[in-house]
Amino acid sequence: MPYSSHIDANEETLRMLDEKFIPVQDDRFLYSLQQKKRDLDGLLTFNKRLVLSYDYTLQEYNRLQELRKTYNQEYPTEHKKYFSTAVKLMSKMRSTLSAYKKIVDEFHPKKKRGAKYKEGVTAYERTPLYNGPYSLDLFGWEVYPERSVKDLFNNLNDYLKLAKSCLKLCLEVIDEEKAIRNDPERAYELYKDSFNRSVTGNRRLIEDMIKNNVYLDNDIVKVMEEAEDVKALIASLYHEFNHSDWNHFCACKTISDGRKVGLTKEESLLFGKDNTEIVIRIRVLLDHIMELAEQRDDVIGWEGMLDGCFVMRLLFWCGWNGSKNEALLRYIKNKCNGKIDVVEMGTVMYHKRKVFRLDNEERYKQQNTFNAEIDAFVDAIMGNSSDATH
C-alpha cells in the first residue's frame, strides 16, 4: 500500500508540520520535478491550484489572527466543546492542510517496480522536497525555460511561508493556554473577571432560577469548596467550561457563597458574599424604615409612599451603579412590605435624571451627606460608634 498522507488532528501533528513548513531548496525542487516526470501542462495546472490555495490560506490566516486575540481571554470557552484546542484550531485551517497534502502528493515520486513500502512511514517523511538523497541537475533551471515553472517554485515557497504563519498562530494559542493552566494566579484573575461578568450579565436569568426553584446545586461547586488549593483547581479547570455550564456554575456558586455567610439567594445575587456587612446594614435600615420616617421629612412622599428622590438616594447608598436595576428595587419593596409602599423604577429614574443635571461636585456632596446621615441612623440602632462609615 502507498505511504499515508493522512493528517491526524492533534498537537503533535501541528508541531510536526511546523518543522515541515520550511522553504524548499531549488535543487530539491528540480529533482522532485524530474522524479515525478510531469509534463508542462500538468505543472501549469498545479500552479493555478497552488495560487488559489494561497488565497484560501490567507483567509484562514486572517481568521486565526482574530481568534488568537480572544481565544485565551475568557475562563470558559465555546471553541472546544468536546474537542481539544488543537483539533479546534486545525478545523480553522482545513484549506491550508489540504493544500499541503496536495503538494506532497504532487511531488511524490512514482513507485518503482518491485519497491516495498516501509510500514509506519508517511508520505511527509518520504517527499523528496525535504527528505532522502537527491542528485543535482546538471542543467538546473535551463531544463525549464518557461517562466511558469519558476513561478511555481516561488508560489510554493510563498504558500509554505504563509502556512507556517498559520501554524505559528495555532501554537501560540496552545502554548498560552498551557501557560495559563500552569499559572494559578493568572488563571484566577481570568476566573474572577469571567465570574463577575457572568453574574452581572445573567442576573435576570438567575433571578428567574431562584423564583422558580430551579436546581441550584453543582458538583464542581462542591468540589471547589472542599479543595485544599482552590486556585490550583481553578487553573486546572481553565477552558473546561462552555458558557452554558459556566453560567450555571456561577449562579450556583453565588448562591452557595452567600448561604455560607447567612445571605438569602436574592441577597447573594444582588450583593455577593464579600458584602455581608453592607447587607446587614441594609436589613437594619429597612426594618426600621418607619422610625427613620419619623426623624426625616424626605422619606415619605405626598402619595404616602417612600419618596422617589429618597428611594433614588437610598439605592445609591445600597451600592447601586445607576443602571435600571429592578431586582434591587424589588428587594427593597419586599423588605418594606407591610410597612410602606415603594415607588416604581420609572419614578426613581426620573429623580436620577434631575439630580444628574447638577454639577458633579454638588451631586456628590448631596449624596455623601445623605450617606452619612443614614449611616449615623443605622449605627445608632446597631449600637456602633457614630463615626462608623458605610
CB-CB neighbours of 150 under 10 Å: 14
C-alpha of 173 from chain center: 12
Here the cell at position 215 is: 436546581
Could you tell me if 337 and 211 lie in one domain?
A: no
Could you tell me if 288 and 213 lie in one domain?
A: no
Could you tell me if 18 and 161 lie in one domain?
A: yes
Could you tell me if 208 and 310 lie in one domain?
A: no
pLDDT digits (tens, 9 = 90+) for 94-147: 888 888 778 777 776 555 554 454 444 455 555 666 665 566 665 566 666 667
Could you tell me if 169 and 190 lie in one domain?
A: no
Range of the domain at 137: 11-180
Which stretches of the chain are DSSP H helices? 11-20, 26-36, 40-70, 85-91, 94-106, 123-126, 147-181, 184-201, 203-211, 219-226, 230-236, 243-260, 265-271, 276-287, 289-295, 308-317, 326-336, 345-355, 360-382
Could you tell me if 146 and 285 lie in one domain?
A: no
Which stretches of 107-241 are DSSP H helices? 123-126, 147-181, 184-201, 203-211, 219-226, 230-236
pLDDT digits (tens, 9 = 90+) for 189-233: 999 999 999 988 888 777 777 777 666 778 898 898 889 999 999
Instruction: Specify the range with the lowest mean pLDDT, choosing from 27-36, 140-149, 150-159, 319-328.
Output: 140-149
177-203: burial string, b at 16+ Cβ within 10 Å, e else: beebbeebeebbebbeebbeebbeebb
Could you tell me if 248 and 345 lie in one domain?
A: no
Here the cell at position 111 is: 513507485
Could you tell me if 176 and 318 lie in one domain?
A: no
Cell 493555478 maps to which residue?
48
Supply φ then ψ for residue 23, to 5 degrees: -60, 145
* DSSP one-letter code for 307: P
Could you tell me if 175 and 200 lie in one domain?
A: no
Question: Over 80: is that where the pLDDT of 83 sits?
Answer: no
- 25: helix, strand or coil: coil
Q: Which residues contact 377 (CB under 8 A, 6 or more apart)?
A: 285, 288, 292, 295
What's the rounded mean pLDDT across residues 325-345?
89
Question: Over 50: is that where the pLDDT of 386 sits?
Answer: no
CA distance 382 to 285: 10
Q: Which residues contact 176 (CB under 8 A, 6 or more apart)?
A: 71, 72
107 vs 261, which has greater pLDDT?
261
307 within domain boundaries: yes
Supply φ then ψ for residue 4, to 5 degrees: -75, 140
Q: How many domains does the chain have?
A: 3
For residue 388, the model assigns a pLDDT of: 38
pLDDT digits (tens, 9 = 90+) for 43-58: 888 889 989 999 999 9
For residue 135, the model assigns a pLDDT of: 63
CA distance 51 to 364: 65
Cβ atoms 269, 327 nearer than 8 A: yes
* CA proximity to 105, closest of 123, 119, 118: 123
271 within domain boundaries: no
Domain boundary residue, one of 153, 180, 207: 180
Supply φ then ψ for residue 138, to 5 degrees: -65, -35
Cell 522532485 maps to which residue?
32
Could you tell me if 321 and 373 lie in one domain?
A: yes
pTM exceeds cut of 0.85? no
